[in-house]
Structure 1
Amino acid sequence: MAIETAYTISSKASGGGRDGEVVSESGRIDLDLQPPKELGGSGEGSNPEELFSAGYAACFLGALRLTSKQAGTPAPEGSTVTVTVAIGKDSADGGFGLGVSIETYLPGLDEAKATELAETAHAFCPYSKATKGNIEHTLTVRV
């Protein structure tokens, strides 16, 4: 897939990776990283899965707002997207893999229309496109 670049940003990790620091070139992200307690860490810092879930949720909500407006049914006020990222052993290669659950909340819409809008956003969202076929996705809709 070729893209026409509109924006770039980089971040640098140092230390031990999951046990270190990450800083964006803009300086707006400057975080200590610690593995979560579930993975044997202190849980006192952020972690890559937390950062991925935050970015994915924001991107998906933006995609949902744009595509629903284009479809003639703008996302209602109070609409939200919650992305849950799971990490665990990948039985295929013995390493680790990710899973993603995306929950959209579109208050006041009927379930069929809300599902249609969420599926359209899922097909449009850059995070969804980048991970398609690489990680398991679960998409649920609440109205």
Structure 2
Amino acid sequence: MKTLYTAKATATGGRKGHVKTEDGPIDMPLSMPKGLGGDGGEGVNPEQLFGSAYSACFGSALSLVAEKHKVDLGDFSVTAHISINKEDEGGLLLSAVLDSYLPGVDDIKTAETLVNEAHEVCPFSRATRDNMDVTLNVLRDE
């Protein structure tokens, strides 16, 4: 395997600390969400960071797949909903819902094919496969 890129980020103080990337674009406080017993402060939380990264990566995978199929996605977007869930046994698990809005794709079967193929090639989807529940949705204009 050939490494193409490595990001380096360091968090200090856990969910109530600070996170910074080695090259500087991310340099921000972390806050515990109220839903997890925190104060819901001004900082970001790991789920927000993961959702931002997953939605961006999945969007790139959608672009790649659409280009392969010669389909114009239009002004598309991907919204990731990242949840922390508590198992009956008390353990915590992540789940994700990815809402893909593809205004340039009129045919629902084509849209679903693109989203499913993007899920196969997206590195975040591959990393989470069989490790967490991921629900894929195609959003349509009403």
Fold shared by both chains (TM-score > 0.5): yes
2-structure distance, mates of 1:125, 1:56: 9
Matching residue of 2:96 = 100
1:108: Cα distance to partner? 3.7
- SS state at 1:8 partner: coil
Is 1:18–2:18 an aligned residue pair? no
Matching residue of 2:61 = 63
Aligned residues: 138
Matching residue of 1:6 = 4
1-structure distance, mates of 2:54, 2:36: 22
2-structure distance, mates of 1:130, 1:40: 28
**Which runs of no fewer than 5 residues in structure 1 stay unpaired?**
none
Is 1:32–2:36 an aligned residue pair? no
**Which runs of no fewer than 5 residues in structure 2 stay unpaired?**
none
After superposition, residues 46-61 of structure 1 pair within 5 angstroms as 46-61=44-59
- SS state at 1:67 partner: helix
- AA aligned opposite 2:96: V
After superposition, residues 72-111 of structure 1 pair within 5 angstroms as 72-76=70-74, 78-91=75-88, 93-109=89-105, 110-111=107-108
TM-score, with length taken from structure 2: 0.93
- SS state at 1:43 partner: coil
- SS state at 2:73 partner: coil
Matching residue of 1:112 = 109
2-structure distance, mates of 1:108, 1:127: 24
Percent of aligned pairs sharing the same letter = 42
1:94: Cα distance to partner? 2.1
